Amino acid sequence: MDALRTVFQGLIDLGAPVFLAVILTLIGITFRMKITRAISAGLTLGVALAGISLVVDFMLNNVGTASQAFVENTGVSLSALDMGWPPALGLAWGWQFAFLMFPIQIVVNLVMLAMRWTTCLNVDMWNVGNKVLTAFLVTYVSDLVWLGFAVATLQAVAELKNADVTRYRLQKLTGIPGVSMPHPMFLTGIWLYPFVKIMDRVLPSTWNIDAQKLREKIGVFGENHVMGFLIGCAIGALGGYDFSATLTLGIQAAAALTLFPLVAKLFTTALTPVSEAATNFTKKRFADREFTIGLDWPVMAGRSEHWLLMIMTIPVLLLYALILPGNIVLPFGGLMNICLVVPLFFFTMGNFVKMAIGTIIGIPMQLYVATYFAPYFTSLASSSGGVETPEGQQLAWFGMDISELRYIATEAVQGSVVGIILALVTIALAVYYFRGIKRDDLAIKAELEGQHAAPRS
Amino acid sequence: MKTIIVACGGGIATSQTVAVKLENLLADRGLRGSVSVEAININSIPTYIKSADVYVSIAQHGEAQYDIPTFSGIPFLTGMGAEDEFAKILTALGEG
């Protein structure tokens, strides 16, 4: 045991990229991948982490420096720079215990399938990173690794249950049968559901707009380089940079936002073979069963409402960031507010007006949670990416998935009164939500079956 | 060199998963050098569509129509019907 611990510690001491490369190679070999392909996947993962560190560093060097000038120039104290989801989840993979989440998710899924507690086979391996992040956050405050993974396991279970009770809703929205979405962001439904029910009561569902046409006009602002350039120029101008320096910063900010996905996709390249092996492993054990396949959210991304609303609420987000007392987060990488807009789309069945109201109400909460977690992400960037933020500067993630639930979980495990009260409220809301959403889903199922039955009769 | 584009919310996770699977299927037929697969952000489709030969969509429902042959990426995620969809893509690329 001691020898094993020494070897493990020795590996960790090599640094996160090397450690990750070795661990993924070993996992690949365990799943009987060809050794050369396993090594290739391992190396790619190391490269992905090194790449993410490089781009976060680049962002800190130009946008970070400019944001400090902005703080000095305007007196508005936004000292934590938002990096958005690609680097945040990428860095989570660099946490030393990250890889325990793989077997945990697979075992949780196998057990739940075996006990018939779920029909969802989750093949979305990217979002294993989202559970790693939960485990990291809880471990960070409690110093208890087991507690971190206990909360992350609870999340994995809740995701699968949630996928089950929303599958017909998804089918109605996408037209694709046999799939479901075990993505954590839809657990935001627990807190959203009562609000959506109220909006359904007071707002006529005919209040909607033609999102497609409008998006064609302003869709270009949703492209990373355009968005990055504009926000970079704005930060530079407000930071008192001269004309050419402002434009240069615009290009650098555009580069950071363009490079994030190019580097972050390497995580997917590395993890896909292992994900395939794990899926085949599970499928073989339940060959006679009917599954729904659990996918990531972009199966709904064809609809324009999401993108239109995200683009349109960027100015609202920036205004909030400037005026909310106590907020220290400067939104940058997470300007496109996926983790609030997409659940709102899902639970309002794509009603733009309700989505917009929900987003405008929800952003302040997201900013405060991002402020709360800024020291955690600064520490994560340092420990897994080797990114050292300068004195007075922090890193943050605005628009983190299930911001509210992660805040409540980390407060509750520390035993704070607020945390425990909110956790109890969450449990009550969860009971209300799961009952209600399941009833809604069965109604949608009946409606879908009615449509299918009609042409035959 | 022919180009397949795959798009999702960020060009990182879902689209890249499909891209990796397509690349493996292409490699199995020795086409790795003649067809490139690129995962992109769904908001960048208008930029990339001009230089692409085939678009593999994760989310056709509600999506705008484009002028190039479009196929579903879902079979590559679920594993069901992937061979059939891939055969259609090859035909569209003139490699079938």
Helical spans, DSSP H, in A386-416 = 403-413
pLDDT (tens digit, 0 to 9) for every residue of chain B, 96 residues total?
Answer: 899 999 998 899 999 999 999 999 999 999 988 999 999 999 999 889 999 999 999 987 778 888 899 999 999 998 889 999 999 999 999 886
Are B17 and A216 inside 8 Å of each other by CB?
Answer: no
- Is residue B58 classed as helix, strand or coil in its secondary structure? coil
Domain count, chain B: 1
Nearest CB neighbour to A302, from listed B39, B44, B57? B57
Are A298 and B63 inside 8 Å of each other by CB?
Answer: no
Give dist(CA A186, CA A153) in Å, integer.
Answer: 16
Tokens of A404: 């509210």
The domain that holds B87 is classified in CATH as 3.40.50.2300
Q: Which domain holds residue B78?
A: 2-92
Q: Residues A34, A36, A42, CA angle at the centre, nearest 5°?
A: 100
Are B13 and A179 inside 8 Å of each other by CB?
Answer: no
The reported pLDDT for the residue numbered A33 is 82
8 Å CB contact between A102 and A278: yes
The helix (H) or strand (E) run that includes residue B71 is: strand B70-72
For B45, name the nearest residue in chain A, comparing CA atoms only. Answer: A223
Are B14 and A279 inside 8 Å of each other by CB?
Answer: no
Q: Which domain holds residue A33?
A: 2-450
Are A302 and B62 inside 8 Å of each other by CB?
Answer: yes
8 Å CB contact between A87 and A117: no
8 Å CB contact between A413 and A147: yes
Domain count, chain A: 1
Residue ranges of chain A with pLDDT lower than 50? Answer: 456-457
Residue A455 lies in a domain: no
Q: What radius of gyration do chain B's Cα atoms show? A: 12
Chain B residue numbers with beta carbons less than 8 Å from the beta carbon of A297 are: 9
Give dist(CA A366, CA A361) in Å, integer.
Answer: 10
The reported pLDDT for the residue numbered A133 is 97
Terminal C-alpha separation, chain A = 68
* DSSP characters over A57-108: HHHIIIIIHHHHHHHHHH-----EEE--HHHHHHHHHTSTTGGGHHHHHHHH
Give dist(CA B17, CA A89) in Å, integer.
Answer: 16
The reported pLDDT for the residue numbered A443 is 96
Residue A457 lies in a domain: no
Kindly give, in sequence order, each residue whose CB lies less than 8 Å from that of residue A26, ignoring residues fewer than 6 positions away.
Answer: A38, A42
Residue A456 lies in a domain: no
- Report the 10 Å Cβ neighbour count for A435: 11
Are A265 and B12 inside 8 Å of each other by CB?
Answer: yes
Chain A residue numbers with beta carbons less than 8 Å from the beta carbon of B63 are: 302-303
In DSSP terms, which residues pair with B3 in a beta bridge? B36
8 Å CB contact between A89 and A130: yes
Q: What is the pLDDT of residues A61-117, one digit of tens each?
A: 999 999 999 999 998 999 999 999 999 999 999 998 998 998 899 899 999 999 999
φ, ψ of residue A75 in degrees (nearest 5):
80, 0
Q: What radius of gyration do chain A's Cα atoms show? A: 22
Nearest CB neighbour to A268, from listed B17, B62, B63? B17
Are B58 and A85 inside 8 Å of each other by CB?
Answer: no
For B63, name the nearest residue in chain A, comparing CA atoms only. Answer: A302
Angle between helix axes A352-385 and A35-59 (nearest 10 degrees) is: 100
The reported pLDDT for the residue numbered A457 is 39
